[in-house]
Amino acid sequence: MKELNGEERRIKVLNMIKESNSPLNGTAISKKMGVSRQVIVNDIALLRANKYDIISTNRGYIIQDASNKVSNDKDVFTRVFKVEHNDFEIYEELSCIVSLSGKVLDVFVDHEVYGKFFAQLNISTTKDIDNFVSQMKENELVPLKNITNNCHYHTVQAPSIKLLDLIELELSQKGFLKNND
């Protein structure tokens, strides 16, 4: 195989990220390209400098599809997920979202008799999750979801639609996603 120059390698790296259905981590890319991970990190920085909207998650790189951008200056996207799990799975559920650069804006339930109950969360890091879970335990609080037999909703914000799609897939694979009835 012919050794690629830097520009050729960056084009190939860009195409790998664009064509991937899930985040690609730097180590996997570097092995495939036959270079060090640091070379890939530098390539990503150069691609970003050339206006490619590559987003780094803790699972790897994805690229923001220009066709998914909205016409405001915030370039953030939101989606509401209907989820269900027990109390012991709260940390895991929130981690699914945060690990893919999502921010859990809120939690709400729709009770048959009492209507909607809403609470703001603003959880975007594992430290936020740790604080939330420890406050629940220390104060012996009952999660809002318990008044609707574990069924609840989260409004999630992410920097791209692709990340929201990945969050949805992850929640589904973990069995947390509930169909809208």
82-86, 88-92, 112-116, range with the lowest pLDDT:
112-116
Residue 181 banded pLDDT, cuts 50, 70, 90: low
User: At 142, which CATH number?
Assistant: 3.30.1340.20
Residues 53 and 107 in one domain: no
> What is the C-alpha to C-alpha distance for residues 165 and 163, in angstroms, rounded to an integer?
5
What is the mean pLDDT of the segment spanning 98-104?
94
Structural domain count of the chain: 2
Residues 149 and 92 in one domain: yes
Q: Is residue 180 part of a domain?
A: no
- Which CATH number fits the domain that encloses residue 36? 1.10.10.10
Range of the domain at 25: 6-65
Q: Give the per-residue pLDDT at 177.
A: 94
Pull the structure tokens for residue 10.
């960056």
Question: What is the overall mean pLDDT for the chain?
Answer: 86
Q: Which is higher by pLDDT, 59 or 70?
A: 59
Q: Do residues 85 and 164 both lie within one domain? A: yes
Strand partners, 106: 120, 155
For residues 138 and 181, the model is more confident at 138
